[in-house]
């Protein structure tokens, strides 16, 4: 197995890892339904219909 030539200090290791943080998610509002959702994801409205980019993809089954 490979061995490091010299030990990497905690400070150097932590400086390298500073960019490994989670970004805040981009949230969009649908112009058709007004639902808030993540970009590039399909979403459901209150009735159970599935939308993507403002277009109806899957209509929810009608309940009697």
- pLDDT digits 0-9 by tens, 11-62: 998 888 777 777 788 899 998 889 999 999 999 998 899 999 989 999 999 8
Q: Is 35 exposed, middle or buried (0-12, 13-18, 19+ CB in 10 A)?
A: middle
Q: Which residues contact 32 (CB under 8 A, 6 or more apart)?
A: 51, 54
Order the strands of the 55-58 sheet from edge to edge. Answer: 43-44, 50-52, 55-58
Residues in the chain: 64
Domains of the chain, by residue range, sit at: 24-64
pTM for this structure?
Answer: 0.59
pLDDT value of position 18: 74
């Amino acid at each position: 197995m490979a061995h490091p030539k010299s030990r990497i200090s905690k400070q150097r290791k932590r400086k390298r890892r500073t960019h490994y943080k989670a970004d805040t998610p981009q949230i969009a509002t649908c112009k058709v339904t007004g639902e808030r959702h993540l970009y590039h994801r399909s979403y459901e409205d209150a009735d159970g219909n599935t939308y993507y980019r403002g277009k109806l993809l899957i209509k929810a089954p009608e309940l009697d």
